[in-house]
């Protein structure tokens, strides 16, 4: 009986993973289109569980190379059925460069542009407000050469 339950859980998990992957393709396309008149470069698909009360919100990390004299756009799109609202933050080493949510003012932006002046490895972190569970897609786009 336990074996059957395990198999059922596994198959349900696999089906939901497949469904999520299919939804992602559409969400990535929509999010890339909503970024405006820019060239899509990368997508960051995120699905996170709820955080532990009192702890830091869970986040997903993505590392990438950005090039000097280039304007990039970082967009975030929360999935329609997501509990949490997604935030995208860009770090150079441990220095915050930009965020789609400014906690000091409470302002939110669907994207921000980053005028890169230093070629190197940067890190994108995607998390959900108040550590809620959620699904989202981040997009990196090329805007122009500076």
Partner 1 sequence: MLRKFYALFVVSILIFGCKSGGEQNTGDDFKVPEAVVNEGVLEISEEVMQDIVQNIASPVEMAALVKSLDAGFSSKYLAPTENVDDLTTSYQQAFHLGIYAADLGYLNIYNKNNSVIEYITAIKTLADGIRVGQFFDFSTLKRLTQNSQNLDSLMYTSVHSFNQMDKYLRSDNRSNLSTAMVAGIWIEGLYLATQVAKASPHPQLSERIGEQKIIMSDLMLILGNYKSDKNFAKLFDAFNQLKAEFNNVTITIEKGEPEMIEEDGMLVIVQNDVSIVNITPEQLTSIIKKTEEIRNMLISI
Binding-site member from 34, 52, 69, 130 for partner 1 (CB under 8 A): 69
Q: Which x/- pattern, by CB under 8 A, does the window 43-62 give for partner 1?
A: x-----------------xx
Q: Is 11 among the residues that bind partner 1 (CB under 8 A)?
A: yes
Q: Does 34 bind partner 1 (CB under 8 A)?
A: no
Answer yes or no: are the C-beta atoms of 126 and 46 closer than 8 Å: yes
- Rounded alpha-carbon distances, angstroms, from residue 28 to 44, 78, 95, 131: 9, 10, 27, 23
Please tell me the distance from the alpha carbon of residue 101 to that of residue 109, in angstroms, as a whole number. 6
* List 82, 89, 112, 136, residue binding partner 1 (CB under 8 A): 112
CB atoms within 10 A of CB 54: 6
Cα distance between residue 64 and residue 17, in whole Å: 25
63 in contact with partner 1 (CB under 8 A): yes
Residues in contact with partner 1 by the rule CB under 8 A: 1, 4-5, 7-8, 11-12, 14-15, 18, 28-29, 32, 37, 39-43, 61-70, 90, 92, 95-98, 100, 102, 109, 111-121, 140, 142, 144-145
């Amino acid at each position: 009986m336990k074996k059957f339950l395990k198999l059922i859980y596994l198959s349900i998990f696999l089906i939901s993973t497949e469904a999520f992957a299919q939804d992602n393709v559409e969400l990535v396309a929509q999010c890339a289109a909503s970024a405006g008149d820019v060239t899509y470069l990368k997508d960051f698909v995120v699905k996170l569980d709820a955080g532990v009360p009192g702890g830091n919100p869970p986040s997903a990390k993505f590392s990438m190379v950005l090039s000097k004299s280039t304007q990039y756009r970082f967009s975030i799109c929360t999935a329609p059925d997501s509990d949490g609202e997604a935030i995208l933050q860009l770090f150079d080493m441990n220095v915050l460069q930009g965020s789609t949510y400014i906690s000091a003012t409470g302002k939110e932006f669907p994207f921000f542009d980053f005028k890169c002046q230093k070629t190197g490895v940067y890190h994108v972190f995607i998390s959900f407000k108040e550590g809620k569970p959620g699904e989202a897609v981040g997009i990196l786009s090329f805007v122009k050469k500076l």
